[in-house]
Structure 1
């Protein structure tokens, strides 16, 4: 299924409206989540003007990144990163949004090539303290941020979170507000940070209203993912 340019235009308009409603000085950035999508689907969205794409898995992303290298796209890793794949991620991606432990900071810094710009880093925060979710605890943000800031091959840009998908949107807003407070506190210690990545297809408008500067949208752009065929073996 090819993404519809109208879907991109509609989402950008909704983002702009949400930003204007809160008198934000700049509109948030859109990260198109291209997990499971083909290079052709990504290329079609790029032709409509989208430049930044997010992938969850290193091995799935690599052939896509290589196939589309001539388009000059910006690639973000948004899924959990195992330390043993940090060397590949540090070379292939422009951003890693899922940094959540000191060991990963050291591995990414060690493997980021000197001929590339510093790797843009977001700290993933487990804002709802879910046992099934990755991310550092809020009380660990400062130490982890200091570790990133001390590495010349890395650039601290801010925070990322995947709040629990509560049906009650008010509870999601509570998580977004908590993340905004954590972001503001971190910005007071690291004034150069500028990115709070939160909000997806179902909740990007309230996320923006509560302070997101980047939203991660997949299905609303590309359409629903095709169902996996049943295994009758």
Structure 2
């Protein structure tokens, strides 16, 4: 079985090495352990090894894990998957971050359903940077309008952008996302986060200014989708 603690330690070592090469402050890069389809025991093993940021793709799975691990009060849950309007409440009540906002309706529902005592939900706007017809996200030219609308919503805090490039398009896409991020920050100085890069391309993402990388397989091993 994959030793999660060892893999996590290796991931942080590699992250620090890459940051040193790029002269990037490793404290500004968040490593999100993507635990989708993995059992609570795996999340707990990573938690005991020091990991606090976890990413989930499915609202029900996020809610169930958050409830089962409620004693681990310093866990920070990041919702990173596509979100349907009938599942927004689960995410609003259990996550601290949402990376995948691509419709105003979803953002409005999250704002309405976010419990006041939890503070503002931090959100990223997902860009369909490779213009894939089957992938979620807005096109770059739609960013100003959606950003302006989301920034006005109570209980939400616009923090930046997220993207998942098409295979083979990573470098062009990451470069384009870096420019979009800089443009966004001109209007929303707090929107400094750039969530991009996964287990196979995160070093390249860092080269283009990623502040959040999402690692699943590199930490937890291959996923078993038969469990879904």
TM-score above 0.5, yes or no: yes
Which residue of structure 2 lines up, in the alignment, with residue 57 of structure 1? 58
Aligned equivalents of 1:38, 1:145: Cα separation in 2:
35
| Alignment correspondent of 1:43 | 44
What SS class does the counterpart of residue 31 from structure 2 fall into?
A: strand
CA deviation vs aligned residue, 1:21-70 (integer Å, no higher than 9, x gap)? 22223441100000001111000000001001011000122111100111
Query: Which residue number in structure 2 is paired with residue 209 of structure 1?
Result: 207
**Contact 1:2 / 1:44 at 8 angstroms: preserved in 2?**
no
CA, structure 1 residues 142+26, in 2 after alignment: closer, same or farther (shift >3 Å)? farther
Shift of 1:3: 4.0
User: 2:91 maps to which residue?
Assistant: 89
* CA distance in structure 2 between the partners assigned to 1:111 and 1:61 by the alignment: 16
- Structure 1 Cα separation of the partners of residues 124 and 3 of structure 2: 28
Q: Does the 8 Å contact 1:165/1:172 carry over to 2?
A: yes
Tell whether the 8 Å contact from 2:15 to 2:26 is kept in structure 1 after alignment.
no
Per the TM alignment, residue 228 of structure 1 is displaced from its structure 2 partner at its CA by 3.7
- 2:111 is the counterpart of 1:113: no
Normalised TM-score (structure 1): 0.92
3-state SS in 2 of match to 1:54: strand
Unaligned runs of 5+ in 1: none
Question: Which residue in the other structure is 2:8 paired with?
Answer: 8
In structure 2, the CA distance between the partners of 1:45 and 1:196, relative to structure 1 (3 Å rule), is same
Gapped regions of structure 2 (runs ≥ 5): none
TM normalised by structure 2 equals: 0.94
Q: Shift of the alpha carbon at 1:227?
A: 6.9
Task: State the aligned residue count.
Answer: 225
Partner in structure 2 of residue 200 of structure 1: 198
Relative to structure 2, which stretch is displaced further, 207-216 or 82-91?
Answer: 82-91
